[in-house]
Amino acid sequence: MLAERAEDLEALDVVWDPADAAWEENLGAARAYAVAYGTLAAPVMAMIMDRPVGQWLANARKKNGLGKDQARASRRAAALAAIDPDWNPDWPIDWQRHYAALRGVAAPGSVLGYVEPGAMVNGLDVGAWLVAQQEGWEELSGGQRERLVQLGVRPPEKKSAVAAKARPRAGGARAGAFERGVAALAQYAEREGTVVVPRSWSEELPDGTSVRLGVWLSNTRSRRATLTGEQLERLAGLGLEWAVAA
């Protein structure tokens, strides 16, 4: 085929490689997901347009997930970044998903007002999550703080009544352990593409915290009856079948 004819067909979005065609179809599903949820930080089990967009994005974030050909991988990364610049953040996807849900609470061009713990967006308690971010401000990365500041979020100067109400009765330590466990599981699932974790496995978070993820998962499952509905929803969203409500 003459080069000129090939260029004319490509201008009509003709894709020569079947693998590229499938990738473009999945990209279209990712675009639809971003329109619906304002982010590409999809749970691994997320589906849209009959496509497993969550698993597809998780695979894309892995090493060589966009293909080993560097030119092709760069084009694909740019296509995803055009949909969501934070499609592959330096922090856990679960954090990005909560941030995107919180961002959706603010009116365009404005900053957040008070968000009460218990405020739910897309099944996520963004109010309690926001309190946790303010209390753990020093543990956040610069990029995470920057995004929160853009929404008008600042660390509290002192512990507030709002923060106290947000803590489970069992105490802040247990709530913090759950948040670390969820972050570690989300990070593991995004990298490995599974939530099956060896009992002896420890996962290191970006802030250097080491979570005994296998043990945490086992203990959390044994305490399923004590978990809140929101905690179970978050675990189910990561792909844990035992966390799905009967």
Q: State in Å, rounded, how far the first CA of the chain is from the last one.
A: 59
**Per-residue confidence (pLDDT) for residue 33, from 0 to 100:** 96
Task: Using a pLDDT cut of 70, give the percent of the chain over it.
Answer: 83
Q: What is the pTM of this model?
A: 0.59
Extract the runs of DSSP E, i.e. beta strands, from 79-222.
120-121, 124-125, 203-204, 210-211
CA angle, 224 then 228 then 231, to 5°: 85
pLDDT tens over the chain, length 246 residues: 555 554 455 555 555 455 678 888 999 999 999 999 999 999 999 999 999 999 999 999 999 999 888 988 999 999 999 999 999 999 999 999 999 999 988 877 677 777 888 888 888 898 899 989 988 898 899 999 999 998 888 877 654 444 444 444 444 555 688 899 999 999 998 888 888 888 888 888 888 888 889 888 988 888 888 888 888 888 988 888 888 765
How many whole angstroms separate alpha carbon 56 and alpha carbon 99?
Answer: 21
pLDDT value for 237: 87
* Rounded-to-integer distance, Cα 144 and Cα 96, Å: 9
The per-residue pLDDT for 48 is 95
Tens of pLDDT, residues 89-99: 999 999 999 99
Give the pLDDT of residue 219. 86
Treating both helix axes as pointing N-terminal to C-terminal, what angle do 70-83 and 18-37 enclose, rounded to 10 degrees? 20
Position 174 scores a pLDDT of: 58
Q: Quick one: what percent of the chain has pLDDT higher than 90?
A: 36
Q: Which helix (H) or strand (E) holds 149?
A: helix 142-150
